[in-house]
Structure 1
């Protein structure tokens, strides 16, 4: 099943979504997909004129592939312009992912500040695409394409303060519109920015993740290469704090991301 197929499954059977093992990272399902599915379940319950503004995500425990997952939604409050929503992904009676989302309709304001433009990477065609090697990297990367343009590769013993490059969905069939659910998948596709500091493979995963969406979202499709840059702000004692941004192909800001990452190495 591709990404869009799984998103559609939330619409038809949100209480029993099964994620195939091809979407795993180690023993767990790909975190970006888990976030996307939980977001989609929440999006269904909120009026369409209230786009998502921010999501706060905690990965409580690993969600197993091939085992049904229930995506639950609770509306905490609906004000005149803003809806506050809580989502829980449940598997075997346990919470695997928690998400608190803020959805807000636009309102009049005299404030208008332009966002930072995309960094000047070398052209995407001049960047080598990271090949997918089953068994040597997370399985979900068979569906995602990365082209490295900044910093070292994971486990290359490169103490770079930042990593970045380009990302899109690997399938080049019919182009499909990119929604905020797809953005969650693209942002989390990139490995933790701490991994290039290591000289040999070691597990690493997101503990918490907050992401904010620029609204209205620029029009993107699954063939578009987006630019990504993540900066390490602090790392010690097996925890790292990173800030990242995602831009569209025209340099327009799409999302602002922050993660607390655990690294076992």
Structure 2
């Protein structure tokens, strides 16, 4: 299964228009579209419309989309250069904008490359415990993502003691056969997990935005989500996620600002 099938993205006769049925399998426990799935749908639409791989994409979340809505996805390739395409997507529900995505796509032949970020030293996936959820994750996107805690506390350990701003999860999506920018867009939406880990309190949040920057795609079953909360102020959290392959390759980086929510 590729990312388009995982999301349920439906092409139309217009190569720059797609539809996304909002189903529980791409929704959160709050029964609205998971932000990472929305960004991923925009990425697939842009890649298919342009014929180029995504380099960078950012989503702004304007409103919620809930089942059984069907989102219209309209692609605008604003600039199509020799090597780079700049494009945008508007995702709407009956004319109401839900998500906007801006992106750059392409590849450039150049003999300069390197990786300077370092993967944290954490236990392997088979040595880590499964993530505990405060609510039943069945019939949500969480039921389609296997998560294991490499660095972090369980909900029962949230006693108000602040952490150091770091957390890490191993994650895999068994339905997907290959790593792709869209798959990384889904997995990049995990800054909210770091909110409770950083504060020591039962808290999370709703994404205001999500940006994904792709470095190198390599085959990997598990992806390490290296989550870093930089600051929490005025009711918002700001942080990033480094996404690592099992062999230490930096696949991508993701960043978000999150509206804090306290859980009961």
TM-score category, normalised to shorter length: 0.7 to 0.9
Partner of residue 247, structure 1: 244
Q: Does 1:231 align with 2:228?
A: yes
CA separation in 2, counterparts of 1:192 and 1:165?
Answer: 9
CA separation in 2, counterparts of 1:19 and 1:3?
Answer: 15
Partner of residue 24, structure 1: 27
Q: Is the 8 Å Cα contact of residues 36 and 210 (structure 2) preserved in structure 1?
A: no
CA separation in 1, counterparts of 2:12 and 2:136?
Answer: 32
Q: Does 1:89 align with 2:91?
A: yes
Unaligned runs of 5+ in 2: none
TM-score between the two structures when normalised by the length of structure 2:
0.85
Name the SS for the 2:129 alignment partner: coil
Q: Deviations over 1:50-102 (max 9, x none)?
A: x2111111111111121111111001101222110001111121111111000
TM-score between the two structures when normalised by the length of structure 1:
0.85
CA separation in 2, counterparts of 1:137 and 1:152?
Answer: 22
Measured on the aligned residues, the alpha-carbon RMSD in Å equals 2.6
Partner of residue 50, structure 2: 46
Shift of 1:135: 3.8
Partner of residue 109, structure 2: 107
Shift of 1:251: 0.8
CA separation in 2, counterparts of 1:143 and 1:132?
Answer: 14
CA separation in 2, counterparts of 1:12 and 1:250?
Answer: 39
Shift of 1:188: 1.8
CA separation in 2, counterparts of 1:198 and 1:185?
Answer: 25
Q: Does 1:256 align with 2:253?
A: yes
Counting matched residue pairs gives: 254
Partner of residue 181, structure 1: 182
Tell me: CA distance 1:104–1:115, structure 2 relative to 1, closer, same or farther (3 Å): farther
Tell me: CA distance 1:151–1:131, structure 2 relative to 1, closer, same or farther (3 Å): closer
- Hey, which bits of structure 1, 4+ residues long, moved more than 6 A? none
